[in-house]
């Protein structure tokens, strides 16, 4: 592009009428100065990309439900374990939505409950077989999903990032040893391996969140390690890394300060997608009877209670539809966020992401 030096210049020093992005650098924004250009583009894109906005709305809705669980579904009495689903008797046949709540109802009626048109507690979404209240299970099951999912994803990501960073940066024998160990874990079919390990851990930890969480972590870190290793291999020979080595910087400093911040973005996309899939895996384990104890507020447990009525969904549709919607929306929210982050960070899609 040829510039006529006789043309009027703007205060920024570029010819008038030429857009900023046509060969001229614009001054960095305040956000870019604080977090850097890549992080600034990611943050800005998340709040402007329609997919990520919809995903944020869905995920934020679940977070609010988890925070407001004591108000949305109070326990049957003060001091009771809120994660234990109250039972309205022991009848095997589910009751439809709107059925009066006779036993173990929440100990008080919150102000918002007047919006339902009822002055006393009813089973808003019906009950499962064994008379577990579906509304209560879904509300407190949201906390279970967020806590278990976040813990599993965080632990898996930390292990994977540590292994991937060391293998990718140092290479050689270290890389070979770590990758061979990783391949041993990859060989096992993931769900079968998690199911077997959970079954082994149940006698040790009892029927709780721990067996399933530990098993999901043990067989869930490999994707992070392989993805980050590949990105670090392409980043560690960049000029800024070579300059840091030449200046005598320690390997730990180079990894944490120069390599990892510039290679972590694809891993963040994987992490967001993993948040949705881990909860589905956790629900599958509960459905198969390896998860939490019976009556614990967990979405997979509610689906498990519905197994005897799958052939009668024309009558007992509510026992499967409501927990299925919760699982669908939770996975959809995190997947929308992950897809939007991929579009924002992928140079090939950068123009489409706007």
Lowest mean pLDDT among 84-98, 141-155, 209-223, 304-318: 304-318
Which residues, 6 or more positions from 71, have their beta carbon under 8 angstroms from its beta carbon? Answer: 110, 112
Residue 298 CA to residue 207 CA, distance in Å, equals 13
Q: What is the mean pLDDT of the chain?
A: 85
**What percentage of the chain exceeds 90 in pLDDT?**
42
Q: Kindly state the average pLDDT of the residues 283-304.
A: 86
The listed range with the strongest mean pLDDT (13-27, 34-48, 53-67) is 53-67
Contact 123, 95 (CB under 8 A): yes
Q: 312: pLDDT confidence band, cut at 50, 70 and 90?
A: confident
Q: Which residues pair with 45 in a beta bridge?
A: none
Handedness of CA 55, 59, 65, 67 (dihedral sign): negative
Give the SS3 label for residue 13. coil
Q: What's the pLDDT tens digit per position in 225-281?
A: 999 998 888 888 888 888 888 888 888 888 888 888 888 888 888 998 899 899 888
Give the SS3 label for residue 195. helix
Q: 25: pLDDT confidence band, cut at 50, 70 and 90?
A: low
Residue 29 CA to residue 229 CA, distance in Å, equals 31
Residue 87 CA to residue 99 CA, distance in Å, equals 13
The reported pTM is 0.83
Which fold is adopted by the domain 53-68+132-353?
A: MetI-like fold (1.10.3720)
Phi-psi region of 36 (alpha: psi -120 to 50; beta: other; left: phi over 0): left
Q: What's the pLDDT tens digit per position in 193-225?
A: 999 999 999 888 888 899 999 999 999 999 999
Lowest mean pLDDT among 3-17, 26-40, 186-200, 293-307: 3-17
Residue 151 CA to residue 17 CA, distance in Å, equals 53
For the chain, the structural domain boundaries read 53-68+132-353
Q: Kindly state the average pLDDT of the residues 95-99.
A: 92
Which residues, 6 or more positions from 127, have their beta carbon under 8 angstroms from its beta carbon? Answer: 88, 94, 95, 99, 133, 134
């Amino acid at each position: 592009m040829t510039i006529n030096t006789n043309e009027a210049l703007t205060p920024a020093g570029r010819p008038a009428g030429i857009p900023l992005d046509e060969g001229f650098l614009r001054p960095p924004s305040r956000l870019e100065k604080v977090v850097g250009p890549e992080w600034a583009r990611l943050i800005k894109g998340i709040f402007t990309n329609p997919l990520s906005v919809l995903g944020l709305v869905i995920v934020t809705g679940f977070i609010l439900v988890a925070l407001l669980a004591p108000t949305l579904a109070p326990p049957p009495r003060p001091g009771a374990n809120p994660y234990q689903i109250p039972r309205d008797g022991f009848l095997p046949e589910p009751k439809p939505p709107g059925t009066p709540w006779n036993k173990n109802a929440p100990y008080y009626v919150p102000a918002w409950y007047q919006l339902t048109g009822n002055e006393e507690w009813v089973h808003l979404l019906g009950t499962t077989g064994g008379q577990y209240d579906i509304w209560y299970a879904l509300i407190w099951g949201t906390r279970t999903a967020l806590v278990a999912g976040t813990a599993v994803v965080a632990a898996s990501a930390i292990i994977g990032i540590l292994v991937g960073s060391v293998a990718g940066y140092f290479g050689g024998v270290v890389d070979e040893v770590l990758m061979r160990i990783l391949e041993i874990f990859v060989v096992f079919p993931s769900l079968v391996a998690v199911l077997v390990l959970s079954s082994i851990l149940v006698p040790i930890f009892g029927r709780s969140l721990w067996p399933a969480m530990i098993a999901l972590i043990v067989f869930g870190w490999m994707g992070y390690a392989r993805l980050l290793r590949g990105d670090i291999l392409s980043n560690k020979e960049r000029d800024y890394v070579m300059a840091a080595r030449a200046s005598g910087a320690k390997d730990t400093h180079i990894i944490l300060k120069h390599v990892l911040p510039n290679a972590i973005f694809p891993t963040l996309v994987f992490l967001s997608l993993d948040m949705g899939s881990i909860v589905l895996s956790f629900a599958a384990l509960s459905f198969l009877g390896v998860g939490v104890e019976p009556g614990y507020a967990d979405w997979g447990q509610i689906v498990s209670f519905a197994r005897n009525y799958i052939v009668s969904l024309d009558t007992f549709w509510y026992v499967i539809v409501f927990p299925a919607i919760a699982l669908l929306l939770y996975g959809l929210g995190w997947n929308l966020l992950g897809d939007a982050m991929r579009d924002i960070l992928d140079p090939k899609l950068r123009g489409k992401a706007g």
